Amino acid sequence: MEIIKVKDQQSGSQKAFELIAQGLQNNAHVLGLATGSTPIKLYQEMVKSDLDFSQITSINLDEYIGLDADNPQSYHYFMNQNLFQFKKFKNSYVPNGGTSDIDAEIKNYDQIIADNPIDIQILGIGQNGHIGFNEPKTPFDCTTHRVQLTQSTIEANARFFTDKNDVPKEAISMGIASIMKSKHIILMAWGANKAEAIYQTVKGPISEDCPASILQNHPHATIIVDEAAASKLD
């Protein structure tokens, strides 16, 4: 596990972009992508770059259940607004949270991941150590699955909704086992509210209490943290 400490989110996002660019030069063809506030500046770097993604496949980590792709709060919509409308990808996959058959969608998404092994996986991290929507106590061996979101995650996501009662309570998430198959994992964290989760990820026991701690077992995991998020590592 490589730890890269940076001054702030902007410099950290630039570093993550450089790692992606290097990966593409080394023949990476599949990117695993995340949503939320953490990767926004990374996507801005990707958008303003001259990198060609037209032969690159992207696979997103998760999507809310009950939101169609055109819902402004969906992760489909987020990806279109922040990246896909500006950069053309060969294929872009996001779970279909609006489907009436969640079990079939889960099976389909597992097949997509199997058919497109992820070269570089981008991750954020929740205050409770979740990666994707893999909440604490999620089995490390799980693949794509239906998630009941914890109250802390619902509250953290409420800032994106006009009414907190509108925050979905369930999601489809790529599983931890699927994430761990990625050749290179880049986890980014910004701010003091992520410091404890980063400490547990890097120095705590490998435990389902902190899902991200499994990254200690990954052969090529890079953790990019700003000064505040790294404050408990010293």
Q: 145 catalytic, yes or no?
A: no
CATH number of the domain to which 208 belongs = 3.40.50.1360
174 vs 154: CA distance, rounded Å? 18
Annotated catalytic residue within 130, 145, 184, 218: 130
Per residue in 185-202, pLDDT tens?
A: 999 999 999 999 999 999
Per residue in 4-41, pLDDT tens?
A: 999 999 999 999 999 999 999 999 999 999 998 999 99
Q: 96 catalytic, yes or no?
A: no
Domain that holds residue 125: 2-230
Tell me the whole-structure pTM to 2 decimals: 0.94
- Of 217, 220, 61, 59, the C-alpha closest to 125 is 61
Tokens describing residue 174: 């790529």
What single-letter amino acid sits at 84? F
Q: 26 catalytic, yes or no?
A: no
170 vs 172: CA distance, rounded Å? 7
Q: How many domains does the chain have?
A: 1
Please identify which residue in the block is written with the tokens 């290097």. Answer: 22
Backbone φ and ψ for 152, nearest 5 degrees, come out as -65, -35
88 vs 152: CA distance, rounded Å? 35
Q: 110 catalytic, yes or no?
A: no
Q: How far is CA 203 from CA 126, 128, 210, in A?
A: 17, 15, 11
Annotated catalytic residue within 60, 96, 116, 128: 128
Annotated catalytic residue within 116, 135, 218, 226: 135
